[in-house]
Structure 1
Amino acid sequence: MNAALLYPFILVAGALQALGNSMNARLRDALVNPWLAATYSFMPIVIVFTILFFTMPTPLPTLQTLGSMPWYAPLGGVAGAVAVFGGLAFVDKVGAGPFNGLTITANILTSLALDSLGLFGLKAGGFKPMPWLGGLLMVVGIVFIARATGPKSEDEKSEGSEGGLMAKLLYPFILVAGSLQAVGVVLNAQLRGALVNPWLAATVSFIPVALVFLFVFLIRPTPLPTRADVARVPWWGALGGIAGAVAVFAGLLFVDKVGAGAFNGLLITANLFTSIAIDHFGWLGMKRVRAGIGRLIGGLLMAAGIVLISVF
């Protein structure tokens, strides 16, 4: 099967990931406690994939496939959730623009390195200058988008720069979170290969994440939302995690067929273009931020970058 035929499905997954992020932002605002919001978001994912597995329980893994599974394969969901934790913990300290720019940059470069070196079971493609040039274009595009979405008022600028040096000391942790996000996609593909059944693999990947967030919420249960806060949760409030989970499931199925660089590049490009549209039109209750020239230039640079990564 031609790998390019999978690109539309990956683009849809990236768009849903962006919608899921906005849904989760509304959910976190309504439920007050970020750990409660994360638990509320991830639990339906586990339930949905568990039901799908019991509905379609075959094929099942054999002792041979289980024996070939690397010990780290079930950690893909946890690795990807590090970026979620980073957003919960750091985005208000460093600002949304720098946070997203750092995580996405680390994700792209790590994905290209995984493809080049053949890490975690991927086929080594060797160093190819054109995909790396594409990665560079995507990074430049991200810089344009991040700068175009930066704080505009003096109050926002002072708030975004609060912490100064302390905020910059968090940058290495955010870069690690972005790299782990790319690694998580590959680990999930390894898990799917060992467990054979994609629904079982998705369930095994998400259960540890949901349990971690639940555990953290139980040891840090405050603040709690009031009845008025809960009443503000939109009907689609619990669907943000499921929308984002489509990207994880796409990784389970497609990353070994199209390569980590192309998969993450397509996913991120669709994510950012959808995010620009969400902000421009104010969908899902988000504050309207018109798509200016900087954002559009950044999006076009990213599109050019993914063409170089995918074609070469």
Structure 2
Amino acid sequence: MNPALLYPFILVAGALQALGNSMNAQLRGRMVNPWLAASVSFAPIVFVFATLFLMMPTPLPSLDTLGKMPWYAPLGGVAGAVAVFGGLAFIDKVGAGPFNGLTLTANILASLAMDSLGLFGLQGSGFKPMPWIGGLLMAVGVVFIARTTADKGEEKDEGHGLNPKLLYPFIIVAGILQAVGVVWNAQLRGALVNPWLAATASFLPVVFVFVLVFLLRPTPLPTRQDLSGVRWWMPLAGITGAVAVFGGLLFVDTVGAGAFNGLLITANLLTSVALDHFGWVGMKQVKAGPSRLGGAALMVAGIVLISVF
């Protein structure tokens, strides 16, 4: 199959991922406790994928495919969730702009490195200058967009006594793990054969971790007034974002980590710019000025270079 035929689906997945991020922000505001919000967001994903697996239980993995599964493959969901944890823990300390800029730039460059070197079972393409130029254009575009991103109304924690720049290395690692998690999920899908089983196995440890942390840190809890503000679509945020993970399970091997993550991030950020510009899904309205539009143009130019070359 021509990999370009999969691009529309990946773009839609990226747009849905951005929508899910905005929905998650609204859910977190109503749930008060971030770990409770994450548990509520991720639990329906496991339910949906487990139900689909029970409805379509074949094909099943053989002992041979399970024996060839890399040890890290089941950790793809957990690796990707590190960025979620980073957002929960640090976005109020460093700001949404620097956080998104660092994680997404690290994601793009790590994806290109995995494609070039053939890491984690990917077919190595060697060093090609044009995709790397495209990656750098995307990184610059991310910075232009992220620098004008509102902090979504969250208050800064001025009393934490820590220089926010000291958190940058962790945030960069989170972005790298986000890219690596996509490839590990593809390895998991190859070993488990059935994509619904693979998706369930990927998300189950994530839900376990978030629920465990919530049980350890059960306060603060939402009041009845908080819960009355929960809209029907808010708990569906995780399912909306899970389309991107499922796309990674199916398509990363075909299109490559660089093109997949590049398309996903481009669609994600362009949709985020639109959501902020129009103030949809309860987001704080931030008009798309020259900096954001210029960043969007750079990202589109970058993904063209990555995809074509």
Map 1:58-73 to 2 at 5 A. Answer: 58-73=58-73
CA positional deviation for 1:185 = 0.1
Q: In structure 2, what is the equivalent of residue 113 of structure 1?
A: 113
Q: In structure 1, what is the equivalent of residue 20 of structure 2?
A: 20
Identity level (%): 77
Equivalent-residue separation in structure 2 for 1:76 and 1:283 (angstroms): 31
Q: In structure 1, what is the equivalent of residue 202 of structure 2?
A: 205
Q: Which amino acid aligns with 1:110?
A: A
Equivalent-residue separation in structure 2 for 1:293 and 1:162 (angstroms): 34
CA positional deviation for 1:165 = 6.0
Map 1:117-136 to 2 at 5 A. Answer: 117-136=117-136
Q: Which amino acid aligns with 2:56?
A: M
Q: Which TM-score applies when normalising by structure 2?
A: 0.97
Q: Which amino acid aligns with 1:234?
A: R
Equivalent-residue separation in structure 2 for 1:255 and 1:238 (angstroms): 27
Q: In structure 1, what is the equivalent of residue 261 of structure 2?
A: 264
Which is further off, 230-239 or 263-272? 230-239
Equivalent-residue separation in structure 1 for 2:149 and 2:61 (angstroms): 47
Report if the CA contact (8 A) 2:142-2:295 is conserved: yes
Per the alignment, do residues 160 and 95 of structure 1 end up closer, same or farther by CA in structure 2, a change over 3 Å counting?
A: farther
Report if the CA contact (8 A) 2:35-2:214 is conserved: yes
Match of 1:179 among 166, 176, 179: 176
Helix, strand or coil at the partner of 1:170? helix
Gaps of 5+ in 2: none
CA positional deviation for 1:270 = 0.1
Equivalent-residue separation in structure 2 for 1:213 and 1:307 (angstroms): 37
Report if the CA contact (8 A) 1:24-1:240 is conserved: yes
The question of 1:225 aligning with 2:222 is answered yes
Q: Which TM-score applies when normalising by structure 1?
A: 0.96
Q: In structure 1, what is the equivalent of residue 138 of structure 2?
A: 138
Equivalent-residue separation in structure 1 for 2:156 and 2:66 (angstroms): 50
CA RMSD of aligned residues (A): 1.6
Q: Which amino acid aligns with 1:59?
A: P
CA positional deviation for 1:293 = 1.0
Q: In structure 1, what is the equivalent of residue 48 of structure 2?
A: 48
Q: Which amino acid aligns with 2:62?
A: T
CA positional deviation for 1:10 = 0.2
Per the alignment, do residues 133 and 253 of structure 1 end up closer, same or farther by CA in structure 2, a change over 3 Å counting?
A: same
Report the count of equivalent residues: 308
Q: In structure 1, what is the equivalent of residue 211 of structure 2?
A: 214
CA positional deviation for 1:160 = 8.6
Helix, strand or coil at the partner of 1:49? helix
Q: In structure 2, what is the equivalent of residue 37 of structure 1?
A: 37
Per the alignment, do residues 98 and 163 of structure 1 end up closer, same or farther by CA in structure 2, a change over 3 Å counting?
A: farther
CA displacement 1:267-301 (0-9 Å, x = unmatched) = 00000000001001111111111111110100000
Helix, strand or coil at the partner of 1:169? helix
Equivalent-residue separation in structure 2 for 1:171 and 1:142 (angstroms): 16
CA positional deviation for 1:163 = 6.3
Helix, strand or coil at the partner of 1:233? coil
List structure 1 runs of 4+ shifted beyond 4 angstroms.
Answer: 158-165
CA displacement 1:214-258 (0-9 Å, x = unmatched) = 000000000000000011111101110000100000000000000
Report if the CA contact (8 A) 1:95-1:160 is conserved: no
Q: Which amino acid aligns with 2:86?
A: G
CA positional deviation for 1:164 = 8.2
Equivalent-residue separation in structure 2 for 1:219 and 1:91 (angstroms): 22
CA positional deviation for 1:166 = 1.6
The question of 1:89 aligning with 2:86 is answered no
Equivalent-residue separation in structure 2 for 1:246 and 1:190 (angstroms): 17
